[in-house]
Amino acid sequence: MKEYIEYIKMIVVLSTISAVCGFGLAAISAFTKERIEEQKLLNVEGPTVKKILAGSTNDLIKDRKEIVINKQKYIVFIGKKNGAPWALAYTTDGTGFGGEMSVMIGFDLINDTLAGVGITSHKETPGVGSRVTEDSFTKTFKDKGLNAVFKIKADGGVIDAVTGATVSSRGVCGAVQKGVPLYQDIKKQVLK
């Protein structure tokens, strides 16, 4: 009988501790959730957004919208000049040499052209593939029309690949190709 009481005590104590800890964590998690999300956007995508949508006068992180297309969620950043939206940016992914890479594409709403491209996260080889994150490569996308063929020149496109980083360049182009067709839908939903 004594043994049973000990077992029950063990179960009760452990369950109680776990339950209290669980509730505590849930409360803290709920309390910090919003701020963490904001911090993530600010630190991971913030710098890129600010570069692509340079010239905007609004708080880019705050003025974001979540838009669902084909059941996939996109976080769209909206750039405004004097209160009127002039550009938007969202992230798609491509496959580079080292694995998945996240590429943010910015669009100019007035001219319907690319406002810029930036790589938010990647696993490319430092010093080789990682050179696709440099401005000298990403600026080649700027001001291109939406009908342009976003492939590297070796594949019959209009983009100069980074020497020695063909696969990584292809990865960025792939992400842009994936992102461009979504633009019209997203634009409609954003301006609605």
Partner 1 sequence: MASIAQEFTKGFWKEIPPFRLVLGICAALAVTKSLVDGFGMGIALIFVLVCSNIIISMLRKVIPKKVRLACYIVIIATFVVIVELITQAYVYSLYEALGIFIPLIVVNCIILGRAEAFASKKSVLRSALDGLGIGAGYTLALVFLGALREILGRGTLFAGSQYVINLFGPSFKPYAFMVEAPGAFVCLGLLLGIMNVLGD
Which spans of this chain sit near partner 1 (rule: CB under 8 A)? 6, 9-10, 13-14, 17-18, 21, 24-25, 28-29, 32, 35-36, 39-40, 42-43
Q: Measured from the CB atom, is 42 or 75 closer to partner 1?
A: 42
Longest dimension (CA), the chain: 82
Q: Measured from the CB atom, is 32 or 111 closer to partner 1?
A: 32
Q: Measured from the CB atom, is 23 or 143 closer to partner 1?
A: 23
- The least distance separating partner 1 from the CB of residue 36, rounded to whole angstroms, comes to 5
Q: Which of 101, 94, 89, 98 has its CA nearest to residue 182?
A: 89
- The least distance separating partner 1 from the CB of residue 6, rounded to whole angstroms, comes to 7
Residue pointed to by tokens 């009127």: 84
- The least distance separating partner 1 from the CB of residue 11, rounded to whole angstroms, comes to 9
Q: Measured from the CB atom, is 9 or 123 closer to partner 1?
A: 9
- The least distance separating partner 1 from the CB of residue 26, rounded to whole angstroms, comes to 11
Q: Measured from the CB atom, is 59 or 163 closer to partner 1?
A: 59
Cα dihedral sign for 162, 167, 171, 177? positive
- The least distance separating partner 1 from the CB of residue 22, rounded to whole angstroms, comes to 8
